[in-house]
A = this chain, B = another copy of it.
Amino acid sequence: MLRGDITSALRAAVMQELAEVGYGRLSIERVARRAGVGKTAVYRRWGSKLAMVLDIVSELAVHKMPLPDTGSLHDDLEILLQIVNQVLQHRLAAQVVPDLLAEAARNPQIAETLQAALRANQRNVADLILGRAIERGELSPGIDTDAAVDLIIGPLYWRLAISRTRLPSGYLPRLAAVTTAALRSELMSPPVPKPAAPAPKPAAPVVAPATPADGAPVTA
């Protein structure tokens, strides 16, 4: 008969701790202390830090977000970007999301859970917005949907989670417009990756190994 108020307090405490110190430094002890609760109360609910975080994060992600369906690719995209913007502006999410994504690179269970959450949640940008656009004939059926998702989400995620600089007014609509145009380009369909001004064979020699003695160059 676990007490619900304690469970809620723990959930909130976990999110705050995740934001403040990240998954790596998150400790059961701090969570319990923050929730004003004994450590046993935590272990009675989840067997480990990982289980605890996975459970809480999964549950949160399930909070359905409204999927846009305006009938036009451009409008769908603009609304989607606004949603993403809104979510990632949230204090907690802005800290927790990149942290968990980074942790996912180390911990397969986290990666899996996040993937599952994304998938269950949206079924997805790709499958819905793009799918509908294809059905409407706005996009070519041959489009590489993975690459399309990169184009749609990538720039905004980079700006919000990495650069973390303010968006100038009009940024989101402009990004929506540019992305829409790019997606419509026939370049997005794999068969003919022929660039406008072809660089015959530029690649390998131009790029030096770039790997220093012992470590890896840190650059993005």
What per-residue 1/0 map shows which CB atoms of A149-185 lie under 8 Å from chain B?
1110111111101111100101111111111111001
User: What does DSSP make chain A's interface, helix, strand, loop or mixed?
Assistant: helix
Count the copies: 4
Partner of A195, one of B147, B164, B173: B173
Q: For the complex, is A3 an interface residue (Cβ under 8 Å from B)?
A: no
Given contacts A21-B24, A180-B195, contact A214 B102 (CB under 8 A): no
Q: For the complex, is A2 an interface residue (Cβ under 8 Å from B)?
A: no
Given contacts A91-B216, A210-B66, contact A159 B168 (CB under 8 A): no
6 tightest A-B CB contacts, nearest first: A24-B24, A154-B155, A154-B158, A154-B154, A12-B214, A177-B195
Contacts from A to B (Cβ < 8 Å)? 8, 11-12, 14-15, 20-25, 56-57, 60-61, 63, 65-66, 68, 70, 72, 74-75, 78-79, 82-84, 86-88, 90-103, 105-106, 111, 114, 117-118, 121-122, 144, 146-147, 149-151, 153-159, 161-165, 168, 170-182, 185, 187-188, 190, 193-197, 199, 202-204, 206-208, 210-220
Can you give 28 A-B contacts (C-beta < 8 A)? A12-B213, A22-B103, A61-B217, A79-B202, A79-B203, A82-B203, A82-B207, A86-B210, A92-B216, A93-B217, A99-B103, A101-B161, A101-B162, A105-B161, A146-B159, A146-B165, A147-B174, A150-B155, A154-B157, A154-B158, A155-B155, A157-B157, A158-B158, A170-B193, A176-B195, A177-B196, A180-B197, A181-B185
